[in-house]
Each structure stands twice: as C-alpha cells, then as structure tokens.
Amino acid sequence: MSRHYSRPFLTMLTTACATALLTICSPVLALDLDKALRDVASKNRLVGMSAVVVADGSADSVFHYGFSDLDQQRPVNDRTMYRIASISKMATAVAVMKLYEAGKIDLDRDVSDYLGFSLRHPEFAGVPITAKMLLSHTSGLRDGKGYFDFSSGALTPESPFGIRTLLQESGKYFTADMWGSEQPGPFFTYANVNSGVLGTLVEKVSGQRFDLFVKQEILEPLGMDGGFNVYEIEGIENLAVLYRASEPQADRFAGGHPARDFSAYRPGHNGLLFGPQGSLRTSAVSLVRFMKMLMNGGEYDGVRILKPETVALMDGAVWTFNGKNGDSYHNLFHEWGLGPHRITGQKGGDRIFGNLPMVGHAGEAYGLISDMYFNREKGVGVVFITNGLLDSGTFEYGEDSAFYAPEEETFKVVEKYLNLSSRTPRK
C-alpha cells in the first residue's frame, strides 16, 4: 500500500492545508481512506486491488492491496500492470479521434470506404456503417457466435482470415447473430466487435499496427507503461495474473516473456489481433495519467493528445436510453458518447457518486473488474481495478447500483472521502 501526492500538493503540505483541500490533506481522513478500502477488499475476498482517487484535478491518493501473483506471492504495487478489459476501448476511441483531428477519418462517412471492403448490415444494406456508430455501439453489430469462434481460431499474425471473414455473410467465421434485428443508428447494444472494426480502421488509415500506433501516439507521450501487445510489453514481470476462485484465467507468465512473431502481419488485416476491445495492459497509476488527460481537455503535464473540442465531442451524448431504443445491460448503460460511457447517476443503475454525472468506462474479463470515471467540473475521478476473487462463485451486485459490490462499495468510500457536497467547480 502506498500514498502519493502531486508536486504542487507537496508544496502546499509544507506550508499549511488550504481550506479547500482539507478532505485531502487531513492525516486522519487519509488513514480512514486506507482502512475503508482495505475493508472493502478484505470483505469481498479480492486477490488484489488498486484504487486511485483524483481530487481537484491533480492530487492523487493511491491504494494497493493483496497479490498480483498468488503463486509467487508478488504484492500489488505502483508497477503492477493489469489487463484493464473494456477500459481499453477508451484508448481505442482516442486513437480514432486523433485520426479524426488529423482529417483522416470522417466520423459520419461510410467506414467501408476506409476498410477496403463492404461493411453492411445484411437486412439494411442501404444504411452505411460509420465510425460514430461503432464508437457509440449503435452500428447493429453483435458479439455473436462467430465473434467467439474467430477470437479462438484466427487471432494469429499469419492467419489468412482477416476481420472481413467475420463481418461479411460470405466469410468463413460469419454467423447470422453477428448483427441485430434493428436498423443501425438509433439502437444501442454494447458489443466488443465494434472495437475490432475500429482497430482495423486505425490501421488502414494510419498504415501502422494498432498496438504501435497507440503506443507511439498515446502511451509514450503520456509516460504510461504497458501496451496492447503482451508479446512486446516491457516489464512483463509486473503483469497481474487474473483469477477466478484463486485459479489463474489469464496473463500467467511467471515473469517470463511470451513470444510471437509479428513480421507476417499486414496492418489493416485484422485489428482484433491486438485486442482494441479489452487487451490494454497498464498500471492503475498510469491509467490515471490517461484519465487526467481527458479531464484536462486532452492535455496532461504539458503534453497535448487531443484538442479540447475533440474531447468535448467524445463526451457528448450520442445515444440516450428511452426504455425501448437499446439494451441497458442490467440497467448500467443509459447514455453513451463517442467512446465514453456517460454516467447519469440513476439509483439502482449507473450510480457512482450519487447523482453526479460522470464519463469513463468499466471493464470485466477473466475474473477482473475495472473502472475509470471522472467529473471534469468538480475535478474528481476514480480508478478501481481488482484481478479477481479468492472464493468460488461470481461477484455479487451492489445494493444501490448496477455495479458489482466491490465497485459500489469503493465508490461509496471515495464519495465520502471527497466530501463532494462541499466542492466548488474548477475554473
């Protein structure tokens, strides 16, 4: 377990605690936060856990618990990298928006024009599929049987079966349930395959492998560790194993580096190879850098990744649930932007800090659950990651939201710690 503060905050601590920051710099409250989060982790029998709280846009409180690798008894710490699951989609969205800013992608243009093959809903062949639809999960695509067959059989650099063989009716991996029954555009259904198409789009437009584009254009400029390609990741010994009931499910490399040759891969052939939907490995501390970049309108520590107006475009509501126009995913999804999940704060649903609106993303895979959400106006945010359960069974749902119990309980602890009712909006 460790606690860290930004340099400006340390300067303030050497003088006196400013009234506006009492909730952060009070030693009593700081110790209470550690104890409360430790209680959450212990009560829910988590293998390991990381949580980072951001207040006033800059000050961090970092918490770690448990083990990243049970066999090696390796404790979770600042260097621990997790496969953050669907939060990865936010990095994919930023990659698309960088190409949008460069004038290389029109969000409302038929993506078939970029992909080099026709992407059409078989029942609505006259309706173009756009990047905006893919980013907002309104494309009509579904994670059908073909998606899972393709993921287990064709995700190798040398595979002759590109992503088009999953998406087109004549393709080897296509199944009818890859598309819903509704017309693309108005109807929302969360689907991982959308990000596979977006990853392929990034490759086609940039001419680079998806993992390398994200590393060069986003991760390295922000000083983030990890990447989308586990075979070329640095610091593999810091990668957390993902567990269900103490049994390893993914990323069990025992500190050794897995090998794979990517020299045969052609960019634009199959972006799903690099897992744009869920395979980004990074630490909680690095993920906060990414979150702060979005909180600060596309800039972090003097490095600009996106323009403020581009971030605002991403954050804006593209789809809003009206009770009939989509699948709310157990009442969790009520609004979506161009990549971000928009939190509306509905009790029993997408509630994090009361009714405070937020943007970000959640993730779940191989026993891991993860969250990254923030409110820009108040300058607050939270990152939560656990690499799984010690006990058998699955995560229980929370009492007041559609999030799982460890997530909801962490949010409640952080909300109390931040004392949101006394916070004034940032200028």
pLDDT, tens only, 41-74: 999 999 999 999 999 877 789 999 999 999 999 9
DSSP string over 185-245: TT-B---THHHHHHHHHHHHHHSS-HHHHHIIIIIHHHT---BS-TTS-S-GGGBPPEEET
Q: Are strands 59-69 and 48-55 parallel, antiparallel or unpaired?
A: antiparallel
Give me the pLDDT at residue 56, please.
Answer: 85
C-alpha torsion sign, points 389, 391, 393, 395 = negative
List the beta bridge partners of residue 92. none
Q: What is the pLDDT of residues 360-375, one digit of tens each?
A: 999 999 999 999 999 9
Which of the four pLDDT bands, split at 50, 70 and 90, describes residue 26? Answer: very low
Distance in angstroms (rounded) separating the CA atoms of residues 59 and 57: 7
Mean pLDDT, rounded, for 124-131 = 98
Cβ atoms of residues 363 and 84 within 8 Å: yes
pLDDT digits (tens, 9 = 90+) for 326-355: 999 999 999 999 999 999 999 999 999 999
Q: Given CATH 3.40.710, say whether it is the number of domain 7-85+227-270+283-422.
A: yes
pLDDT in tens, 223-253: 999 999 999 999 999 999 999 999 999 999 9
Q: What pLDDT, on a 0 to 100 scale, did the predictor assign at position 11?
A: 31
Q: Where in the chain is the domain with CATH 3.40.710?
A: 7-85+227-270+283-422
Both tokens of 336, joined, read: 């979506």
Tell whether the model's pLDDT for residue 402 goes beyond 70. yes
Which one is predicted more confidently, 20 or 86? 86
The C-alpha atoms of residue 362 and residue 190 are separated, in whole angstroms, by: 12
Question: What is the pLDDT at residue 427?
Answer: 59
pLDDT value at residue 182: 97
Secondary structure (3-state) at 314? helix
State pLDDT tens for residues 249-296. Answer: 999 998 888 999 999 999 999 999 999 999 999 999 999 999 999 999
Q: What mean pLDDT value characterizes the chain?
A: 92
User: pLDDT, tens digit, for every residue of 171-195?
Assistant: 999 999 999 999 999 999 999 999 9
Instruction: Considering only residues 32 and 40, tell me which one the structure prediction assigns the higher pLDDT.
Output: 40
Q: Look at residue 426 in the predicted model and tell me its pLDDT.
A: 67
Quickly list DSSP for 127-179: S--BHHHHHTT-SSB---HHHHHHHHHS-STT-S--THHHHSTTSTT--GGGB
Query: Which positions ≥6 away from 410 have C-beta within 8 Å?
Result: 37, 40, 51, 382, 384
Residue 14 clears pLDDT 50, i.e. is over it: no
Q: What is the mean pLDDT of residues 132-138?
A: 98
Query: In a 10 Å sphere around its CB, with 0-12 CB exposed, 13-18 middle and 19+ buried, how is residue 421 labelled?
Result: exposed
- Does the pLDDT value for residue 413 go beyond 60? yes
C-alpha angle 258/192/239, rounded to 5°? 30
Each residue's pLDDT tens digit, 302-312: 999 999 999 99
- For residues 404 and 385, the answer to whether their CB atoms sit within 8 Å is no
Confidence at residue 392, expressed as pLDDT on a 0 to 100 scale = 87
Q: What is the pLDDT of residue 28?
A: 36
Element at 341 (helix H, strand E): strand 341-343
